[in-house]
């Protein structure tokens, strides 16, 4: 991801979900508990419908499969409706100010999911909207993905505290949210990445400071084998994120030694699980054997986006009307 001067924003009003750093460990645990409950209800065909009459808007400046479909399906499951608003097809693209757009949409909708590039743009939406704004992904972080990942890890490992998660590859938005989440929940997060591809230093420092309060550990190393040593969870993401296509050749050369593969699996604990937030490129950031092997939980991880985001929708949209 582009290295920016962005910092973790100050704690936001409760109406918005902008970063995991803005959530308490208690709130995260409650969301996981709710997601587990909703998953069992969904699979039993007995979903509650607390969002009847609610409408969610989705404004996306980046392509999406899982984020868009899971939010739209979730609103339908919960009794509400969703509107997909392509950024280039609304008046925002013709010069209407973001402030005006946010205030107008606040009169029509009950919540907004924004998927954009700059974290500052997301914060501007939250500042001007009077309805909840949920981060559907920025270049800085991806909180909905990582909340679902915490749910997946808790399902598979029965706990979060003390779990070692090793992330190998590019220190991108997913990495940032994993660092924040691990620090909040008392996990041990080890990031293995090449020089020049480290996570944002400000997020590393925030996570290390938070870790002192929760008995977590935060480590960044340039050796993927050190990162993977005795890990309970091995995690990776694409090497070339949206907007980085011109850097493909350079990125592939630098990141090839950081592939999540069988060599790393042998360094991890025997029962380690393999995670990837998808889409995946087999043979690049992850080997086919690791992605499709018996230790992989990537499809359950993707399914859990739906249940965690249902929990998020009930929390933020439901709270907005209470």
Q: Is residue 1 part of a domain?
A: no
Residue 34 and residue 242: Cα distance in Å, rounded?
A: 32
- If you average pLDDT over every residue of the chain, what do you get? 93
Residue 321 has what pLDDT? 53
Tell me: pLDDT of 1 over 80: no
In a domain, 273, yes or no: yes
pTM score over 0.85: yes
CB 207 within 8 A of CB 7: no
- Residue 277 a catalytic site member: yes
Q: Clarify whether 142 is annotated catalytic.
A: yes
Closest CA to 193 of 148, 231, 225, 224: 224
Residue 286, in any domain of the structure: yes
Region 81-105: what's the mean pLDDT? 90
Specify whether the CB–CB gap between 157 and 163 falls below 8 A: yes
Which pLDDT score is estimated for 264?
Answer: 98
- Kindly tell me if the per-residue pLDDT of 12 is higher than 50: no
Percent of the chain whose predicted confidence (pLDDT) is above 90: 87
pLDDT value of position 320: 57
Domain count, the chain: 2
Give φ, ψ of 219 to 5 degrees.
Answer: -135, 140
User: With 60 as the cut, is the pLDDT of residue 10 above it?
Assistant: no
Q: Is 266 a catalytic residue?
A: no
> Using one digit for the tens of pLDDT, what is the confidence trace for 33-56?
999 999 999 999 999 999 999 999
pLDDT of residue 3: 41
DSSP letter, residue 89:
G
The pLDDT, as a whole number, for residue 87 is: 78
Lowest mean pLDDT segment, chosen from 123-127, 141-145, 253-257, 315-319 = 315-319
Are 170 and 194 in contact by the 8 Å Cβ rule? The answer is no
pLDDT > 90? residue 88 = no
What are the helix (H) ranges across 78-222?
Answer: 98-108, 119-128, 143-157, 173-184, 201-214
Active-site hit among 128, 144, 305, 309: 305
Does residue 2 carry a pLDDT above 80? no
Whether 154 and 197 map to the same domain: the answer is: yes
Q: Are residues 295 and 149 in the same domain?
A: yes
* Co-location of 44 and 135 in the same domain: yes
Catalytic residue check, 49: no
Catalytically annotated residue among 139, 232, 237, 307: 237
pLDDT over 90 (residue 20): yes
Which residues make Cβ contacts (< 8 Å) with residue 38, sequence separation at least 6? 47, 48, 307, 310, 311, 314
pLDDT score at 91: 84
The domain of 120 spans: 20-141+304-320
CATH number (domain holding residue 36): 3.40.50.1370
The region of weakest confidence among 50-54, 79-83, 120-124, 240-244 is: 240-244
DSSP letter for each residue of 150-167: HHHHHHHHS--TT-EEEE
Same domain, 119 and 223: no
Tens of pLDDT, residue by residue over 60-73, are 999 899 999 999 99
What are the tokens at 266?
A: 């042998």
pLDDT at 143: 98
Give the active site residue among 42, 66, 77, 115: 115
151 and 295 within one domain: yes
Residues 152 and 127 in one domain: no
């Amino acid at each position: 991801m582009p290295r920016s001067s962005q910092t973790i924003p100050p704690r936001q009003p409760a109406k918005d979900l902008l970063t995991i750093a803005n959530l308490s460990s208690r709130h995260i645990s409650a969301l996981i508990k709710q997601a587990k409950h909703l998953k069992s209800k969904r699979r039993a065909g007995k979903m509650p419908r607390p969002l009847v009459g609610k409408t969610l808007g989705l404004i996306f400046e980046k392509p999406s499969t899982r984020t868009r479909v899971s939010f739209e399906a979730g609103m339908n499951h919960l009794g509400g409706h969703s509107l997909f608003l392509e950024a280039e097809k609304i008046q925002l693209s013709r010069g209407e100010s973001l402030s005006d757009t946010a205030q107008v949409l606040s009169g029509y909708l009950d919540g907004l999911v924004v998927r954009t590039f700059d974290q500052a743009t997301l914060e501007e939406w939250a500042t001007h909207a009077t309805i909840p704004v949920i981060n559907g992904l920025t270049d800085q972080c991806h909180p909905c993905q990582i909340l679902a990942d915490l749910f997946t890890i808790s399902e598979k490992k029965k706990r979060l505290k003390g779990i070692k998660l090793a992330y190998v590859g590019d220190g991108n938005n997913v990495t940032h949210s994993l660092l924040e989440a691990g620090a909040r929940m008392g996990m041990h997060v080890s990031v293995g990445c090449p020089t020049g591809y480290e996570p944002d230093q400000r997020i590393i420092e925030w996570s290390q400071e938070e870790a002192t309060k929760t008995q977590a550990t935060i480590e960044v190393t340039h050796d993927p084998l050190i990162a993977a040593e005795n890990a309970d969870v091995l995690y990776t993401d694409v090497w070339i994120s949206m907007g980085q296509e011109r850097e493909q050749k350079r990125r592939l050369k630098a990141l090839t030694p950081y592939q999540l593969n069988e060599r790393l699996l042998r360094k991890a604990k025997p029962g380690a699980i393999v995670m990837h937030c998808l889409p995946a490129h087999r043979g690049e950031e992850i080997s086919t054997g690791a992605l499709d092997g018996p230790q992989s939980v990537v499809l359950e991880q993707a399914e859990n986006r739906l249940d965690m985001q249902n929990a998020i929708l009930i929390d933020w949209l439901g709270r907005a009307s209470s």
